[in-house]
Amino acid sequence: MGYGYGYGYGYGYGYGYGYGYGGSGGGGSFKNMPAELGPKVWTLDYTPDLSGKPDLPQGKITPASGLQYPDSLWDPALRAGLAVTEFALRFATWTVLDQTAFVGTTVVDWNPPNGTAASREAFISGELDYLLALMEDDRDRYMPEILGQADNAPVYWLQLLNLGAGEKPATNALISYAQRVGEIAALYFKFQYKRVRPSALCPGLLLPFGPPRHPAFPSGHSLTGHLTTYLLIEIPEVKAAMGTELDWLAYRVAKNRERAGLHYPSDGAAGQLLAWAIEQELMTNTAANYPKLNDILTAAKVEWQ
């Protein structure tokens, strides 16, 4: 899935776009800093004779209002990381999410609980035929975009929202939150289902890179992308201005993973279904179970008013 986006602030995801969506917030010591607060060179000379030049003032500031770090100065990605712990700790809800998202849908027809071997093989064969058609008809045209979204997909949401570094920090935190929650949920369900990648069954897909070293189902890009869109359109002004475009973007990023031969169509559909189930859980119980997310979402709504 290629998580680790480095958008300057650093889902441990690797997006490298200048302010760092870095998954767990790990990485280099400059990962979670705005560019304007990055490294600077000082060459300091404290020799006794300054030849009449003023010395560097080194007075101390007496704290007037305590020593507590202001909430407003938190890096958006790290603020999101704090909120994600609320979701991670409610682990018991994840089985319910699984049932809510997948039971009774065709996305699990590749391994149905009561299905026959023949029906399973027919379903999978149909998906592989579709991926081969995408390889022949689409992949070459979409390859630059596929590569751009492999590790830097959140940049596409930022550009659509016309957000630069430092702008609307709560909205940036909301995007980071969706990416981080999506990553841990995707990994959890990948471990539960353990589906092999399409290229394991059809080497003729001739992957342009990878495949990633984790199972296929559900698609992490689809899950994180759709969850990002669903949370953003909880902001009324964003939904009214570009709700349709945000839905389209999530679908397009997910589809590009199929064009690359990395995911079956049912992987992408499962990612969308799971994103919707997670969003419903988060919005139904926001204030009670997810107060940090509630704070982020409330602040993000104010930014667009």
User: Which position has the higher pLDDT, 105 or 127?
Assistant: 127
Distance CA 261, CA 268 (A): 12
pLDDT at 13: 37
Any domain includes 27: no
The residue segments making up the domain with residue 179 are 75-303
Distance CA 137, CA 92 (A): 43
**Mean pLDDT over each residue of the chain, to the nearest integer:** 84
Distance CA 267, CA 255 (A): 10
Domains in the chain, number: 1
Any domain includes 255: yes
CA atoms within 13 Å, Cβ hemisphere of 56: 9
The per-residue pLDDT for range 200-228, each reduced to its tens digit, is 999 999 999 989 999 999 999 999 999 99
User: Which position has the higher pLDDT, 244 or 30?
Assistant: 244
User: Which position has the higher pLDDT, 242 or 285?
Assistant: 242
Any domain includes 179: yes
Any domain includes 153: yes
Any domain includes 47: no
pLDDT greater than 60 at residue 170: yes
Any domain includes 251: yes
Any domain includes 118: yes
User: Which position has the higher pLDDT, 253 or 11?
Assistant: 253
CATH number at residue 257: 1.20.144.10
CA atoms within 13 Å, Cβ hemisphere of 187: 13
User: 3-state DSSP call for residue 9?
Assistant: strand
The per-residue pLDDT for range 265-290, each reduced to its tens digit, is 999 999 999 999 999 999 988 888 99
Question: Closest Cα partner for 278 from 193, 196, 190, 177?
Answer: 177
Average pLDDT over residues 34-44: 75
pLDDT greater than 70 at residue 301: yes
Any domain includes 235: yes
